[in-house]
A and B are shown apart, each in its own frame.
Chain A
Amino acid sequence: MKVLGLETQNISALLKVVILGLIAAVALASRLFSIIRFESVIHEFDPWFNYRTTRFLVANGFYEFWNWFDERSWYPLGRVVGGTVYPGLMVTSATIYNILHALNFTVDIRNICVLLAPLFSGFTSVAAYLLTSEIKDSSAGLLAAAFIGVAPGYISRSVAGSYDNEGIAIFLLMFTFYLWIKALKEGSAYWGALTALFYFYMVAAWGGYVFIINLIPLHAFTLILMGRFSTRLYVAYSSFYILGTLMSMQIPFVGFQPTRTSEHMAALGIFGLIQIIAFVEFARSYISSNQAQILFKSFVVISFVGMLSGLVLLTLGGYIAPWTGRFYSLWDTGYAKKFIPIIASVSEHQPTAWPSFFFDLEMLIFLFPAGIYLCFKELHDGHVFLILYGITASYFAGVMVRLMLALTPVVCVTSAIAISRLFDIYLKLDPEDSDNNSVKSNKSVIDKPSRKGDSSRSTSSPSTNKSSEKKKKSEHFRILGFDTRILVISNFFIFLTIFIWHCTWVTSNAYSSPSIVLASRQADGSQYIIDDFREAYYWLRKNTDYSSKVMSWWDYGYQIAGMADRTVLVDNNTWNNTHIATVGKAMSSPEDVAYKIMRRHDVDYVLVIFGGLLGYSGDDINKFLWMIRIAEGVYPNEVKEVNFFTPRGEYRVDDEATPTMRNSLMYKMSYHNYNELFGGQGQDRVRGARLPIGKIKLDTVEEAYTTENWIVRIYKVKKLDNIGRSLEQAGEFESGKKRRKRVKRTN
């Protein structure tokens, strides 16, 4: 058949390319809201660190970056940056930068960083297309690509400016899975090695690589249990595991972890098991007596149990590190709250309530189970993989909001399978054509089991297939009615349109705020930009000494280092809990105690975030309880959470606030001079409270700068008094009070 002088096959290939290109373009474009609304800036917290390191990498070269010791964070400890980052992201953007500059496109590194995540989301939709068409067909692939291009669950991590590891990691995740399915299908070491290569890229890019190194072994193990061991599996897994592990160990941050920690032991164990099974299969092909079969089977089982207990013993003996806290908290969900408050304190580590599933995935979340069910209908190796991925990812997404990101791809793929199957049935115009198709697909199903040589199953499966074939036929005949088709198709067309609408709405409203620049609507409807953060950081940059040290809660560490270029005590890389607890202690202690801590750490400026004037709820007083909790974990005798609660167990800032609360440095710095602004009694708009009347006296620090909307307040730590008085006495003297007379001691 020819259309416009082209073979239909060529036309469909051309269409596919064009559609895929358009999808990638849409994926990129829908992430640009933040640039249009605000400007091309780096967002949030972690991206600022990534941006800073990328600039360092571009300026100083790879080897300098590799050996970079950053003395301007975690003062006075410093941080070995080269050995504690996943460098994939920075290296990627530096590579793009160098290529563009070699071609004489003098693009600023910031723009590359801002646009990297949208670019890679375009790639992600291509990877989703490849994966889905490998499992079903290309029409499902195109649907999957379209879904993942606009699904808010993924957009939330990859809008322009959100320059974070996840931005490129989801592409790598999908592509690695595609390559793995391909390798398994072909049984070739070439594809296995490619899988390993992209696995290596993933290890370099994101800590979530642990998901891959556990999911692929789980898939292999399930296939073995299902009696589907084959040389294809053997070749694919062995080549992937060996190369992938060796390469992943080249990343300094990972190092010897693949051989020494529990997270990686599943992969190693399956690797051992697969060798044993391969050997047994080999031996079996020469000896065929019944007793020998039993012997082999028991050999496999015994060696598996032996390996398992060996691993357990090694773990108990301390040769293999047990699960780290972060991973362990995924299993024992109460663990983090009890033992690692710093993990529990992060809002994206909270469990997920169902509205956010719907918010992030809309109708896909309803199609997801249907897609999984369809996978069970066919159940080739690829479908088994999708099912396992679906189950594990939905568990993780349920435990942690943040891991919704890992669930989104599989939801997109399975819903695409469900929808395209529906379209397959309802859009086929020629009934005979569809019949031929179903027979064809059945043939391939029948082919499958006979290849693996298990006689008992292969005899049983044709009969079930025949029955399903009959059912299919009757289904086709039943839905021949044109009206039914129109109804169903138009319904789903509407669903899909609403889905796109929802996604665009969510993207533009919820996920496109850079969070360092806030926007609000004024009474007349015009937009009002609140730019306090950058104002404060710029003030620090221009008005303080280059070597001054800034103390703030760890959330703002990366931003201060990135935008203000000043030394910070703690930052978002929360590697040293004690140091963070020390800062928490300083914030929650009375001035004299806090002053000692600040002097010891050479602190020059203290920065607090205060939202009371504007009603900005993510401020330090609301985070204060976590500071206290973390400080109490390390200094249980000096900081006590109970003292910050009223006897009725309330957390208050008004007249009823406890003395400990009102004497804490954080409270004083937040509300210093606030009453005077109102000319009497200040009104806190976040907590809806009226402040206690009276001036808040600060002796050890003095106000240095407060931004336009009072969101950021910077205080300068006073030097010791010149004539040896305590700063409190000096303050009293300054304010005109007389020194209390003291009785001279005779001795």
Chain B
Amino acid sequence: MATRQAIVSIFIFLVFNIFLLVVCHAAKPSLEAKVSALNQFSTNNKGVVELDSDLYDEFVAKPRNYSMIILLTAMEPQINCQPCKEFDPEFRLVAKSWQSSRNEHSRLYFGILDFKKGREVYAKLNLNNAPTMFYFPPTTGPYAKEISEPNRYEFNRRGFSAEGFASYLSGHVGIQVPVKRPINFFAIFVSIFVILGTLAAIKLLYPFIKKVFQNRNTWAAISLVIILMMISGHMWNHIRGPPYVLQNNGQISYIASGFSNQLGMESQIVAMMYRR
């Protein structure tokens, strides 16, 4: 008796659902169609959905029962966008890690829109710098957020690394987004080889190295170099990453104006000056 009741209620529920679906379908491409398209795109391409302007509009349009992170980039060589090239592999790494993790894949999709294919989107969003990345939260379904406005990823603050990106995503999606860097066996092998080689070389050349190692002048040289680097503002360069020299009206200026400003070159000039 009970089972039959259950079956009946499921049946009614199904009919109701189909009815709803039909109603929705008449209006725009259904959510299911979008999700299945997204699934297909992302599984074919290691977790990344390559977009163009039309696809962008389609997937970003509400309702969404998924989160979508979209990277607006410009990979064409003539644009020469260095940060785009730097970030692209990191983005794909996170997408791939997400794809291979045990999480429910349908909650989050990774889209890339290249400037080449998406000039309209760039124009529409009034964007004139790349890379730009937006996170689109879900608007319906169990994970729907109150805020449906897209959120912009701040490259300045969170950086270009996969880890920073993943932690940003984790915060927004609500589950841990993993980063699985592929193990570079070649690098490991090389470094082991180098270490063994150096050890062997040290063993062989020990009498000679010992002399260098115990020589006062070696240590004097090392410490003086460290001190000179520090007091000539190398640390400032390291932290702030200023340009090496500044092009100014066609002339190269070596010394930056302002009291707490300097250029990369300056520190070397100053360091040279110390060695009178």
Question: Within residues 216 to 262 of chain B, which ones have a CB less than 8 A from any CB in chain A?
Answer: 216-217, 219-220, 223-224, 226-236, 238-240, 259-262
With A333-B238, A351-B235, A390-B223: A395-B259 Cβ-Cβ less than 8 Å: no
Q: Which B residues are CB-close (under 8 A) to A334?
A: 239
Partner of B233, one of A352, A359, A373: A352
Q: B223 and A354: CB pair below 8 A?
A: no
* CA distance in complex: A642, B267 (Å): 34
Question: Within residues 347 to 370 of chain A, which ones have a CB less than 8 A from any CB in chain B?
Answer: 350-357, 359, 365-366, 368-369
Partner of B232, one of A354, A387, A395, A637: A354
Q: B230 and A394: CB pair below 8 A?
A: yes
Q: B219 and A376: CB pair below 8 A?
A: yes
From residue B159, how far is it (CB to closest CB) to chain A in Å? 8
B78 located at the interface, meaning its Cβ lies under 8 Å from any Cβ of chain A in the complex: no
From residue A104, how far is it (CB to closest CB) to chain B in Å? 49
Q: Which B residues are CB-close (under 8 A) to A397?
A: 230-231
Q: Which A residues are CB-close (under 8 A) to B238?
A: 333, 351
* CA distance in complex: A136, B116 (Å): 71
* CA distance in complex: A373, B157 (Å): 42
With A334-B239, A369-B274, A642-B152: A356-B228 Cβ-Cβ less than 8 Å: no
A422 located at the interface, meaning its Cβ lies under 8 Å from any Cβ of chain B in the complex: no
Q: B233 and A394: CB pair below 8 A?
A: no
Partner of B223, one of A356, A359, A387, A637: A387
A391 located at the interface, meaning its Cβ lies under 8 Å from any Cβ of chain B in the complex: yes
Identity of the chain B residue whose Cβ is nearest the Cβ of A397 in the assembled complex: B230
* CA distance in complex: A30, B70 (Å): 62
Q: A369 and B227: CB pair below 8 A?
A: yes
Q: A398 and B224: CB pair below 8 A?
A: no
* CA distance in complex: A424, B38 (Å): 82
With A354-B266, A369-B228, A390-B227: A333-B239 Cβ-Cβ less than 8 Å: yes
A431 located at the interface, meaning its Cβ lies under 8 Å from any Cβ of chain B in the complex: no
Q: A399 and B231: CB pair below 8 A?
A: no
* CA distance in complex: A365, B233 (Å): 12
From residue B232, how far is it (CB to closest CB) to chain A in Å? 5
Q: B226 and A395: CB pair below 8 A?
A: yes
* CA distance in complex: A372, B222 (Å): 11
Q: A376 and B227: CB pair below 8 A?
A: no
Q: A398 and B230: CB pair below 8 A?
A: yes
Q: B239 and A391: CB pair below 8 A?
A: no
Identity of the chain B residue whose Cβ is nearest the Cβ of A642 in the assembled complex: B152
From residue A740, how far is it (CB to closest CB) to chain B in Å? 27
B86 located at the interface, meaning its Cβ lies under 8 Å from any Cβ of chain A in the complex: no
Q: B235 and A369: CB pair below 8 A?
A: no
Identity of the chain A residue whose Cβ is nearest the Cβ of B154 in the assembled complex: A642
* CA distance in complex: A357, B273 (Å): 14
Q: B227 and A354: CB pair below 8 A?
A: no
From residue B140, how far is it (CB to closest CB) to chain A in Å? 20
From residue A375, how far is it (CB to closest CB) to chain B in Å? 9
With A366-B274, A369-B274: A394-B226 Cβ-Cβ less than 8 Å: yes
From residue B162, how far is it (CB to closest CB) to chain A in Å? 15
B44 located at the interface, meaning its Cβ lies under 8 Å from any Cβ of chain A in the complex: no
A702 located at the interface, meaning its Cβ lies under 8 Å from any Cβ of chain B in the complex: no
From residue B117, how far is it (CB to closest CB) to chain A in Å? 23
Identity of the chain B residue whose Cβ is nearest the Cβ of A361 in the assembled complex: B231
Partner of A391, one of B216, B217, B223: B223
Tell me how many residues of B have a C-beta within 8 Å of chain A: 36
- Type the 1/0 row for A367-394, where 1 means its CB is closer than 8 Å to any CB of B: 0110011001001000000010011001
* CA distance in complex: A350, B235 (Å): 10
From residue A196, how far is it (CB to closest CB) to chain B in Å? 29
Number of A-B residue pairs with CB-CB distance less than 8 Å in the complex they form: 90
* CA distance in complex: A394, B240 (Å): 18
* CA distance in complex: A636, B170 (Å): 14
A647 located at the interface, meaning its Cβ lies under 8 Å from any Cβ of chain B in the complex: yes
Question: Within residues 193 to 216 of chain B, which ones have a CB less than 8 A from any CB in chain A?
Answer: 216
Q: A398 and B152: CB pair below 8 A?
A: no
B184 located at the interface, meaning its Cβ lies under 8 Å from any Cβ of chain A in the complex: no
With A369-B227, A373-B224, A387-B223: A354-B216 Cβ-Cβ less than 8 Å: no
* CA distance in complex: A379, B236 (Å): 31
B24 located at the interface, meaning its Cβ lies under 8 Å from any Cβ of chain A in the complex: no
B270 located at the interface, meaning its Cβ lies under 8 Å from any Cβ of chain A in the complex: yes
* CA distance in complex: A642, B259 (Å): 29
* CA distance in complex: A353, B126 (Å): 38
Q: A353 and B231: CB pair below 8 A?
A: no
A281 located at the interface, meaning its Cβ lies under 8 Å from any Cβ of chain B in the complex: no
A641 located at the interface, meaning its Cβ lies under 8 Å from any Cβ of chain B in the complex: yes
Q: Which B residues are CB-close (under 8 A) to A641?
A: 154, 157
Identity of the chain A residue whose Cβ is nearest the Cβ of B146 in the assembled complex: A637
With A353-B261, A372-B223: A333-B235 Cβ-Cβ less than 8 Å: yes
Q: Which B residues are CB-close (under 8 A) to A398?
A: 229-231, 233-236
Q: A357 and B219: CB pair below 8 A?
A: no
From residue A288, how far is it (CB to closest CB) to chain B in Å? 24
Q: B227 and A394: CB pair below 8 A?
A: yes
Partner of A351, one of B126, B231, B239: B239
From residue A406, how far is it (CB to closest CB) to chain B in Å? 12
* CA distance in complex: A399, B238 (Å): 10
Question: Within residues 84 to 100 of chain B, which ones have a CB less than 8 A from any CB in chain A?
Answer: none
Q: Which B residues are CB-close (under 8 A) to A357?
A: 231-233
- Type the 1/0 row for B95-137, where 1 means its CB is closer than 8 Å to any CB of A: 0000000000000000000000000000000100000000000
Q: Which A residues are CB-close (under 8 A) to B171?
A: 636
Question: Within residues 40 to 66 of chain B, which ones have a CB less than 8 A from any CB in chain A?
Answer: none
Q: Which B residues are CB-close (under 8 A) to A354?
A: 231-233, 236, 262, 266-267, 270
Identity of the chain B residue whose Cβ is nearest the Cβ of A333 in the assembled complex: B239
* CA distance in complex: A357, B239 (Å): 17
Q: A350 and B232: CB pair below 8 A?
A: no
Question: Within residues 608 to 650 of chain A, which ones have a CB less than 8 A from any CB in chain B?
Answer: 636-637, 641-642, 647
Q: B224 and A372: CB pair below 8 A?
A: yes
Partner of B262, one of A353, A369, A387, A647: A353
Q: A353 and B154: CB pair below 8 A?
A: no
* CA distance in complex: A373, B152 (Å): 54
From residue B151, how far is it (CB to closest CB) to chain A in Å? 9
Q: B220 and A391: CB pair below 8 A?
A: no
Identity of the chain B residue whose Cβ is nearest the Cβ of A457 in the assembled complex: B214
Q: Which A residues are CB-close (under 8 A) to B260?
A: 350, 353, 355-356
Q: B227 and A352: CB pair below 8 A?
A: no
Q: B227 and A372: CB pair below 8 A?
A: yes
* CA distance in complex: A376, B216 (Å): 7
* CA distance in complex: A637, B137 (Å): 13
From residue B265, how far is it (CB to closest CB) to chain A in Å? 12
Identity of the chain B residue whose Cβ is nearest the Cβ of A629 in the assembled complex: B157
Q: Which A residues are CB-close (under 8 A) to B219?
A: 376
Q: Which A residues are CB-close (under 8 A) to B152?
A: 642
* CA distance in complex: A338, B158 (Å): 8
* CA distance in complex: A647, B127 (Å): 9
Q: Which B residues are CB-close (under 8 A) to A379?
A: 216
From residue B237, how far is it (CB to closest CB) to chain A in Å? 9
Chain A residues near B (Cβ < 8 Å): 333-334, 338, 350-357, 359, 365-366, 368-369, 372-373, 376, 379, 387, 390-391, 394-395, 397-399, 636-637, 641-642, 647
What are 30 A-B contacts with C-beta separation under 8 Å?
A: A333-B235, A333-B238, A333-B239, A351-B239, A351-B240, A352-B236, A353-B233, A353-B236, A353-B261, A354-B262, A354-B267, A354-B270, A356-B260, A357-B233, A368-B231, A369-B224, A369-B227, A372-B227, A376-B219, A379-B216, A390-B227, A391-B226, A391-B227, A394-B227, A394-B231, A397-B230, A397-B231, A398-B230, A636-B171, A647-B126
Chain B residues near A (Cβ < 8 Å): 126, 147, 152, 154, 157, 159, 171, 216-217, 219-220, 223-224, 226-236, 238-240, 259-262, 266-267, 270, 274, 276
- What 17 new A-B contacts, CB under 8 Å, besides A354-B236, A365-B231, A395-B230? A338-B157, A350-B260, A351-B239, A353-B233, A353-B236, A356-B260, A357-B231, A366-B274, A366-B276, A372-B227, A373-B220, A373-B224, A376-B223, A390-B223, A398-B231, A398-B233, A641-B154
Interchain residue pairs A-B with the least CB separation, the first 7: A398-B235, A354-B233, A376-B220, A398-B230, A394-B230, A351-B236, A351-B239
